[in-house]
Structure 1
Amino acid sequence: MDLLSALRAHRLVAIVRGADPDAALRTVLTLAEEGVALIEVSLSGRNALEVIARARAALGPDAPLGAGTVLGPDDARAAHAAGADFIVTPAVSDGITVARELGMPALAGVMTPTEILSAVRLGAEALKLFPAGQTGGPAYLRALRGPFPDLPFVPVGGVDAAAARAYLAAGAVAVGVGSPLVGDAADGGDPDALRTRARDFLTVVRERAEAGR
């Protein structure tokens, strides 16, 4: 898949991490029904590879589906076998190289300029600024865009609706959102509340897209 184009088009990556595989699958499908196009299932969730495989079967071959918390080559291979289209890492690792060899683009976790250059040299398509809430927020993103004006950053970690607006205004190509969007849905929580949160976040990214025209 063309991850960068998808990030630019949709501007939101939903991060699903749950202790209940059935609820995690329902969460993925509910988000997709609400129009969240980019969804990542974290491998740190219970039976995450099974969730990815079941989600792939339910969503069909064309829906973008990512595997998150990919720590190394074995995780990348397992994610590919389960049906993931792209990987998301918490840090720079050789899992990025293996994912690219398997045809999967990578959203690589970075925090410092040195990590940014390392991820780019490994071939990461986009850069996950993580944990965004502990790096100085939108001001830090603006500072990074000074020396790296053309690199696609995706802040992740503590990104609520207000922070999403601020990061997108500061030049983020997209935002990654876990608990502020998913809440407890992947652990068996209220799916109707999930739908409401999904609509709220989609409104935020659409507003920013319109403001940028």
Structure 2
Amino acid sequence: MKLTELPHQTIAIVRGTDREAALRTVITLAEEGITAAEVSLTTTDALWVIERARRELGPGADIGAGTVRTAADAARAADAGAGFLVTPGLGDDLRRGMPLGLPVLIGALTPGEINSADECGALAVKLFPASLGGPSYLESLRDPFPTVPFVPVGGVDAQAARAFLAAGAVAVGVGSPLIGDAARGGDVAELRARIAHWRTALADGIAA
């Protein structure tokens, strides 16, 4: 997984109660050009969704597992074919279960948490919940952590995404503002419309 090469630097967060709808959501995202999707392990039959998405989309799509809280979670996600892992934080059990050869985005908010995540070899720090500090908080973190890649997650809509990217984020994670109710059985056409709007909004913001 190479964050700087993602389309518009977006990681879509898929979380839902219908496994077929969640799988359809991941596939639709890829069809519309957003090839990095994090399937939260709180999704119904999340490991099935990851396994099927990997089979149908092939190696070109970045399909990861989110809400990875334990070493057992990490192992099961890796077995299902997840290409990366995303954690809400970093506990001792997860720290011991990290060496799986997979890129990991570790959730952190405070400077101490960010330092620990970086020391553990995180591909990037998932700045969560990003809405608490906003883009100005990310800007303030750039001086003490100039080489740490940040991916803000939590309350990130298109406007916030543009601001975070301008503040130095390498990517953003976005859930409901992009996915809506698609992973719960919502209309696919509406999902495609939201994706098109998201891509245009970010492209315009980056160009500006």
- Give the TM-score, by structure 1 length: 0.92
> Hey, what does 1:178 align to over in structure 2?
175
> Hey, what does 1:200 align to over in structure 2?
197
Structure 1 counterpart of 2:117, one-letter code: A
Alignment of 1:109-124 (within 5 A): 109-124=107-122
> Hey, what does 2:150 align to over in structure 1?
153
Structure 1 counterpart of 2:107, one-letter code: G
- Give the count of matched residue pairs: 205
| Counterparts of 1:196 and 1:114, CA distance in 2 | 40
Alignment match of 2:82 (pick from 84, 95, 104): 84
Structure 2: state its 5+ residue gaps.
none
Secondary structure, counterpart of 2:97 in structure 1: helix
> Hey, what does 2:71 align to over in structure 1?
73
> Hey, what does 1:98 align to over in structure 2?
97
Shift of 1:107: 0.5
Shift of 1:96: 5.1
Alignment match of 1:169 (pick from 161, 166, 171): 166
> Hey, what does 1:8 align to over in structure 2?
4
Secondary structure, counterpart of 2:202 in structure 1: helix
| Counterparts of 2:20 and 2:173, CA distance in 1 | 22
Please say if residues 96 and 123 of structure 1, whose CA atoms lie closer than 8 Å, have aligned partners that are also in contact. no
Alignment match of 1:125 (pick from 111, 123, 131): 123
> Hey, what does 1:25 align to over in structure 2?
23
| Counterparts of 2:31 and 2:96, CA distance in 1 | 32
Structure 1: state its 5+ residue gaps.
none
Shift of 1:61: 2.7
Structure 1 counterpart of 2:3, one-letter code: L
Question: CA deviation digits over 1:118-157, x for unaligned, max 9?
Answer: 01111111000001112x2001111111211221100000
Secondary structure, counterpart of 1:172 in structure 2: coil
Secondary structure, counterpart of 1:14 in structure 2: strand
| Counterparts of 1:70 and 1:78, CA distance in 2 | 10
- Give the TM-score, by structure 2 length: 0.94
Shift of 1:37: 1.6
Please say if residues 13 and 40 of structure 1, whose CA atoms lie closer than 8 Å, have aligned partners that are also in contact. yes
**1:190 to 2:204 alignment:** no
**1:153/1:97 Cα in 2 relative to 1: closer, same or farther (>3 Å)?**
farther
Question: CA deviation digits over 1:61-93, x for unaligned, max 9?
Answer: 332110000001000000000000100000023
Question: CA deviation digits over 1:10-32, x for unaligned, max 9?
Answer: 21000000000000000000000
Structure 2 counterpart of 1:42, one-letter code: S
| Counterparts of 1:163 and 1:109, CA distance in 2 | 18
Task: Calculate percent identity across the aligned residue pairs.
Answer: 58
Which is worse superposed, 186-195 or 56-65?
56-65
